[in-house]
Structure 1
Amino acid sequence: MRQTGTLKFFNHDRGFGFVTPAEGGKDVFVHITAFERSGLAVPAEGTTLTFVTEEDRRGRGLQAAQLELA
């Protein structure tokens, strides 16, 4: 299910950040590869995005994928 959220934080040196879902709940991890796969440059913090969540391949929990600018 597609969600809307705001890019809360992104560390360019480490290649990851977090998206705060608009509907509330825990922040969702986002990796730089999610932006690369979506064909997006990492936007400024505070930018609204739409995304889906999927399980991390390493079993570390949910992460944002299929990112689009809202």
Structure 2
Amino acid sequence: MLLHESQLAQGVFNLTWKVEMSGTIETGHVKWFNDEKGYGFISRDNGQDDVFVHFRSINSTANRKTLQEGQRVEFKVIKGPKGLQAEEVTAI
């Protein structure tokens, strides 16, 4: 598969910004999630700032990766290009 220069640059940029904030798994609940846009926010149980979540970060065997408002989740927090975001998100 050949990548266009802009795709390659975007991939390098994304890898550069994915810095894990803590090695520990955190818990929280889904504040909101927009199925059509594929993203939302998670409210952390530790009271720290909410974190962005993208559908690609959801661990699920379902065909459509989604979250429901109020759903309990566990996740890791990383620093993305636009701020904190959740990775390895799993419903609990």
User: What is the TM-score normalised by the length of structure 2?
Assistant: 0.65
Structure 2 residue aligned with 1:25: 48
Rg larger for: 2
Mapping for residues 1-70 of structure 1, pairs under 5 Å: 1-35=24-58, 38-39=59-60, 41-56=65-80, 59-70=81-92
- Compute the RMSD of aligned alpha carbons: 1.3
* Aligned counterparts of 1:4 and 1:24: Cα–Cα separation in 2: 11
What amino acid sits opposite 1:39 in the alignment?
Answer: S
**Higher strand proportion (structure 1 or 2):** 1
Q: Percent identity?
A: 32
Runs of 4+ displaced beyond 2 Å: none
Give the number of aligned pairs.
66
**Higher helix proportion (structure 1 or 2):** 2
Deviation at 1:43, TM superposition (A): 2.8
Deviations 1:27-59 (A, max 9, x none): 100011111xx2253132101000001122xx2
